[in-house]
Structure 1
Amino acid sequence: MRLVIARCSVDYAGRLTAHLPEATRLLMLKADGSLLVHSDGGSYKPLNWMSPPCSFRTEEPDEEQRSAGVVELWRVTQKRTQDQLIVRIFEIIHDSEHELGVDPGLTKDGVEAHLQKLLAEQIEVLGEGHRLVRREYMTAIGPVDLLAKDPDGGSIAIEVKRRGEIDGVEQLTRYLDLMNRDPLLAPVKGIFAAQEIKPQARTLAEDRGIRCVVLDYDEMRGVDVGHTRLF
């Protein structure tokens, strides 16, 4: 991973346009080819980014750019959409590279991991006509538990939790924000699936257009719990 702190401006050009005026920011170039632009606020969320597969190249600024103070120009191109992220660098304050190695990924607890596997095998729990595309669909900020299609062929990102809380809704919201930038997937809907969903999490999810599904773990794994019921 390469970490660069620089005074820069950033322009996103393609299906949408966005401009970040000159300011000091953190630029993260990851081994997977992605580029993320961070400020010193806004918590975890980058101001702008380009997801892989993409190409990165450094260009010499032209005379007009040099006269404006640009010392280096970065151009990141998304290979599928040809969208571009153009970073004009006015001053590099820090530049370092770090070898992080292979990340083992997020380890879920046993029940949560099993829930994800069961839902992948029993995707019809979400409704007739749903079909699984793949488990652990990778994005630039981590894997979505399940990617599926609804009966109309629309994309669905599914986050599976044992206990559904606000943090899980926020996590799925970040995935949806990123995935809806991909024209091959968009529009992408969200499903928040858990054994138990807290009222605050349900309210937040539904406010954001995310569907909530409560999973019956025992039923999905074929356990007959009828003998334990009083009624």
Structure 2
Amino acid sequence: MRLVIARCSVDYAGRLTAHLPLAPRLILVKADGSVSVHADDRAYKPLNWMSPPCTVKEAEDGTRSLWTVQNKAGEKLIITMEEVLHDSSHELGTDPGLIKDGVEAHLQELLADRMETLGEGWSLIRREYPTAIGPVDILGRDEAGTTVAIEIKRRGEIDGVEQLTRYLDLLNRDPHLAPVKGVFAAQEIKPQARVLASDRGIGCVTLDYDALRGIEDDKLRLF
């Protein structure tokens, strides 16, 4: 990973245009080829970014450094650095991945055993299906035989949808699996996550932990 802190302006040219005026920012260049631009707020969310795969071309324009980041679709992120305050590279190696808490791991196990929860005729291909960026919780098939990648969370938020989007991008490059659709499954799904999932063609399923375990709801019911 390369970390650059610089006074820079950023211009995006693609499906739309966007401009970040001159200010101090952190630029991350990761081993997967992604480039993201961060401010000193907004938690983990970048101000702008380019997803992998992309190329980075560096040039000098007088006293300024000019980076042109381009993806395979021809979209460009142009970073103009007026002053570089820090520039370092670090080898992080392979990350062991997220260790799921007990409930999340158990949800995965239960759903894999009860794929009919998602619909009649659904079947399991494999749990923890490996990809270059981490394992997909469940890979299965729906009643039509279409491959489905299922990401399971205890609480479904936007970052979980983003994670599933990255998996789908990789899986759909495999001609033996494509087309692959996505399902985002959680005990609770935030409204913003539902909107983003819908926009990306990803289905949402709310999981009932007790029902998956075969425990009857002891609440009084009118019907």
Q: TM-score range by the shorter chain?
A: 0.5 to 0.7
Partner of residue 89, structure 1: 81
SS at match of 2:157: helix
Ranges in structure 1 where 5+ consecutive residues have no aligned partner: none
Partner of residue 51, structure 1: 51
What is the alpha-carbon distance in structure 2 between the residues aligned to residue 11 and residue 157 of structure 1?
34
Partner of residue 4, structure 2: 4
Ranges in structure 2 where 5+ consecutive residues have no aligned partner: 174-180, 199-203, 219-223
Distance 1:50 1:124, change over 3 A: farther
Partner of residue 32, structure 1: 32
Alignment of 1:78-227 (within 5 A): 78-79=71-72, 81-119=73-111, 122-128=114-120, 145=137, 158-162=150-154, 164=155, 168-172=156-160, 174-175=162-163, 191-194=184-187, 197=188, 211-216=204-209, 219=212
Distance 1:15 1:40, change over 3 A: same
What is the alpha-carbon distance in structure 1 between the residues aligned to residue 130 and residue 76 of structure 2?
23
Partner of residue 14, structure 1: 14
Distance 1:53 1:193, change over 3 A: same
Instruction: Tell me by how many angstroms 1:204 deviates.
Output: 5.9
Instruction: Tell me by how many angstroms 1:29 deviates.
Output: 0.9
Residue 161 of structure 2 contacts residue 197 of structure 2 at CA under 8 Å; is this kept in 1? no
Q: CA offsets per residue over residues 105-144 of structure 1, 9 Å max, x none?
A: 110134422422553565442235768898568798x876
What is the alpha-carbon distance in structure 2 between the residues aligned to residue 28 and residue 54 of structure 1?
13
Please report the RMSD computed on the Cα atoms of aligned residues, expressed in angstroms: 4.3
Q: CA offsets per residue over residues 30-50 of structure 1, 9 Å max, x none?
A: 111111100011111001111
Partner of residue 75, structure 1: 68
Query: What is the TM-score when the length of structure 2 is the normalising length?
Result: 0.66
Equivalent residue pairs, number: 205
Query: What is the TM-score when the length of structure 1 is the normalising length?
Result: 0.64
Residue 205 of structure 1 contacts residue 212 of structure 1 at CA under 8 Å; is this kept in 2? no
